[in-house]
Amino acid sequence: MSKVRMSWGLLLCLTLASGCVQTKYGWYDYDQKLYRHYRDPGQQEVFLEQLKEIVERGTSSNRIPPGLFAEYGYVLYETGKFNEATRYFDLEGKKWPESRVLMAKMVKNAQLRAGKAEGRVQ
Amino acid sequence: MKRLFLFAILALLPACAHQPKDLSKFEAAKPASILIVPVVNQSVEVTAPDYFLSTVPVPLGERGYYVFPVNLVKRVLEDEGLSDANLVHNAAPQKVCGLFGSDAILYVTIKEWSAKYLLLSTVVDVRLAYAIKDCKTGETLWDHEQAMTYSPQNNSTGNPLGDLIVMAVNAAVTKAAPNYVPLARQANNIAFNGRPGERGIPFGPYASQEQMAEGARTGIRAPKN
């Protein structure tokens, strides 16, 4: 019994200790999620959900990594959610001035596609 | 005669010692953003380039650079008719960078990505050639080649039969899914962050004071997730 308690204590210590070594940004296993996306490319919805989670957690902790708003925006774009995509391309451009040239192009594209999609509906 | 021989050896020594990399061009160019383009594959593993690509943004971002979203970049290049990484690598840096508005561009070539299946364990090798070029001039700011080898640890159980079972399990696991990715991460870490005696790449504009102080103190910084 005491052995069990001790190992739990050890686990807690290790968890706390590893918490101290923090990355600059909140990546939340972005690399592993990207890897899995390339391994099972059919799972687009799963990848979308995972990117959404990274973006949400990164936004609330104010540690959003470079590129992640846009990465999420692009998968939204690919799944036909053009207006939502525009929002995240905008967020990327506001957060990182280095991305503005690209994000302006992405926003233009997304809005063009959104317009076309609406045109079809009418 | 003996003295002459000794002198000859001493004269040869500096050539053997590790040459520190000249980063003056990199430091003068001061790129703030790096475009990671798809990877050229010289190995026989067709999945290697995409798997490797997934390991690059984190260490470069942590080093203080704006890193363009790799998956978006890959797809946009495909749309532009540049789905073949060789085409991207052979195009003028200025042209590729122009599509994205980046300061610098990172090219990686996978030289080796292989697993040797021994009787009871598997040895995995990766070898990567990296180059960062200036988007304005096309000049090479930094290049590096990094090789890593992995062989599973034999966790000794203290009895020979137990050891055999552990080794058999190790082999099965690596045969099903050879462990390239952790090895690629390690290679990136050494390439970008350096290690004692090697500098890695300079810190980017988003690197914190503590990061730079730590880097200066140890010559290495290993980011953990």
Report chain A residues whose CB lies below 8 A from the CB of B65: 66
In the CATH scheme, what architecture does the domain A23-117 have? Alpha Horseshoe (1.25)
Cα gap B206→B219, rounded to integer Å: 18
pLDDT at B5: 54
Identity (one letter) of the amino acid at B212?
M
- The model's pLDDT over A50-101, given as tens digits with 9 standing for 90+, comes to 999 999 999 999 999 999 999 999 999 999 999 999 999 999 999 999 999 9
A109 Cβ under 8 Å from any chain B Cβ = no
Q: How far apart are the C-alpha atoms of B161 and A63, rounded to whole Å?
A: 49
Hey, where are the domains in chain A? 23-117
Average pLDDT value for chain B: 85
Q: How distant, in Å, are the alpha carbons of A59, B35, B43, B102, B216 from that of B115? A: 40, 30, 11, 36, 36
pLDDT at B207 over 90: yes
Quick check: B80 and B96 in contact, CB under 8 A?
no
Q: Tell me which of B45, B58, B186 to substitute to probe the interface with A (most A C-beta atoms closer than 10 Å).
A: B58
Q: Which residues on adjacent β-strands are paired with residue B109?
A: B40, B129
In whole angstroms, what is the distance from residue B31 CA to residue B133 CA?
10
Contact at CB, B100 and A39, closer than 8 angstroms:
no
- Chain A 27-56, CB below 8 Å of chain B: which residues? 27, 29-32, 34-35, 37-39
Model confidence at B202, pLDDT cuts 50, 70, 90, reads very high
Angle at B168 between CA B166 and CA B173, to 5 degrees: 95
B100 to chain A: closest CA residue:
A102
Residues 6+ apart with CB under 8 A from B136: B29, B94
Residue A26 CA to chain centroid, in angstroms? 10
Chain A: give the shortest CA distance to residue B125, in Å. 19
- Which H or E run includes A99? none
In this predicted structure, the answer to whether residue B11 has a pLDDT above a threshold of 90 is no
pLDDT band at B225 (very low <50, low <70, confident <90, very high): very low
Q: Which of B42, B76, B73 lies closest to B56, judged by CA?
A: B73
Check the CA dihedral B129-A31-A29-B30 and report its sign.
positive
| Pick from B144, B116, B114: nearest CA to B132 | B144
Please calculate the CA angle A33-A42-A57 and round it to the nearest 5 degrees: 30
As given in the structure block, the two tokens for residue A100 are 């503005």
What is the assigned CATH class of domain B21-214?
A: alpha beta
**Does residue B119 carry a pLDDT above 90?**
no
Q: Do A31 and B185 touch (CB under 8 A)?
A: yes
pLDDT attached to residue B18: 57
Q: How far is B167 from chain A (nearest CA, A)?
A: 26
How far away is chain A from the Cα of B23, in angstroms, using its nearest Cα? Answer: 22
pLDDT at A59: 95
Instruction: Please indicate whether, in this complex, the C-beta atoms of B69 and A74 are within 8 angstroms of each other.
Output: yes
The H-assigned helical ranges of chain A are 2-20, 30-39, 44-61, 68-78, 82-95, 100-121
Single-letter amino acid, residue A101: V
Residue B152 pairs in a beta bridge with none
Residue B156: φ, ψ to 5° = -70, 130
Q: Nearest Cα to B68, choosing from A67, A65, A103?
A: A67
Residue B44 φ/ψ, nearest 5 degrees: -95, -5
Residue in chain B closest to A26 (alpha carbons) equals B225
**Are the beta carbons of B66 and A25 separated by less than 8 Å?**
no
Tell me which of B46, B60, B71 to substitute to probe the interface with A (most A C-beta atoms closer than 10 Å). Answer: B71
> Which residue on chain A is closest to B101 by alpha carbon?
A101
Q: Which residues 6+ apart lie within 8 Å of B68 measured at CB?
A: A67, A70, A99, A102, B33, B34, B35, B36, B100, B102
For chain A, report the end-to-end CA distance as a whole number of angstroms.
69
pLDDT beyond 70 at A15? no
Each residue's pLDDT tens digit, A17-37? 444 457 899 999 999 999 999
3-state secondary structure of A47: helix
Q: Note whether A38 contacts B53, CB cutoff 8 Å.
A: yes
